Amino acid sequence: MSDSTFINQVMDGLKEQGYLMINDDFIDHLIITLHANVTAINSLIEMVEVENKLLALRGSLPTGNRQVESLKELSTRIAEIAFNVEDVRNEQR
């Protein structure tokens, strides 16, 4: 019996006994959702940066620099959460 087969049997047994309350499907969907949020935020960052460039060309002062930094920080934190959830999922398997 391979290590992964043994681990899967142990994990299945723990799930059947109710020790693991979060099922794999939920964790997988959570990870997908977190990564989708990062992608959406990164798209917003690109849009704000383009807007800033257009405003600079028109002679207006760019107002979105603080927004860009805030969005970048948010994106980074969500990505960190996603990777932490992936680590937890991998440890549970």
Q: pLDDT tens digits, residue range 21-35? A: 667 788 888 999 999
What pLDDT shows up at residue 86? 86
What pLDDT shows up at residue 46? 92
Joined tokens for residue 62: 């760019």
Say if CB 62 and CB 55 are below 8 A apart.
Answer: yes
Low-confidence ranges of the chain (pLDDT < 50): none
pTM strictly above 0.75: no
Say if CB 48 and CB 67 are below 8 A apart.
Answer: yes
Q: What is the DSSP letter of 58?
A: T
What pLDDT shows up at residue 40? 95
